Amino acid sequence: MNVMEFFEQSTGRWISCRTTHHLAFQRSETGESYIEITALRPDHPQIISTCQLHGVDPQRAIGGAYVTWNGTMAWDKEGEKHEGSTLFALIPDAVNPHQGQLLRDRGYAETVPVAGHYHMDNEQELVLITEYPSMHTIERFWFTGSNVRLRTSTVQWLGGITTATFCTETRVDFPLSETKTSVKVPSFFG
């Protein structure tokens, strides 16, 4: 599987159940997110504009994905929201097409345009490595079935604080707008 096939297989609506371990505080926090992923062709206007934003020739792009999310975490304060969107543009390495640059119009952890790196390993897992101004992230995604995807992430802050997250993501076939009122997300972690 190549990276674009991975994003095509990820297309759809997902419910993500997560546990985040705040290592400095020796505490864990659970949360749930609703995610929608759309694979995009290399000639999509948003792929072209993201490449241009990063000063990369859009002809080098093999496609990408548009991702939206809306979630909650157990420690949230009243009215706190975890929602947003980002666009990925994939720029493969000229020598090894199983790795390359992952250009984002905005990052997850910091809402600034950011360029990271990706690679597909021998186990068909997608690994994303991103350097932000104040942190370093490593994310790993893999499928355990056509409708179940697992994800781990490690965030290392400049001050040495680390968080580690494990997510189980299940593809759903209903519109995400229904999740806010009529769907109870099962909590696998307590």
pLDDT digits (tens, 9 = 90+) for 138-149: 999 999 999 999
Residue 33 belongs to a domain: yes
Residue 20 belongs to a domain: yes
Average pLDDT, stretch 80-91? 87
Higher-confidence position of 181 and 121: 121
pLDDT at 107 over 80: no
Look up the CATH number of the domain holding residue 164: 2.40.128.20
pLDDT at 174: 57
Residue 186 belongs to a domain: no
Of 136, 172, 122, nearest to 1 by C-alpha is 122
> How big is the CA angle at 4 (ends 13 and 135), to the nearest 5 degrees?
80
For 8, residues 6+ apart whose C-beta sits below 8 A from its C-beta are 39
pLDDT at 188: 35
Residue 187 belongs to a domain: no
Helix %, strand %, coil % of the chain (to 5): 15, 50, 35
Q: For 26-60, what is each residue's pLDDT tens digit?
A: 888 899 999 999 999 999 999 999 999 999 999 99
pLDDT at 183 over 60: no
Give the rounded percent of residues in the chain with a pLDDT score beyond 90.
Answer: 62
Higher-confidence position of 127 and 28: 127
Domain count, the chain: 1
Tell how many helices (H) and how many strands (E) occur in the chain: 2, 10
Q: For 155-170, what is each residue's pLDDT tens digit?
A: 998 878 889 999 999 9
For residue 135, give its domain range.
3-180
pLDDT at 110 over 90: no
pLDDT at 176 over 60: no
Of 126, 35, 11, nearest to 116 by C-alpha is 126
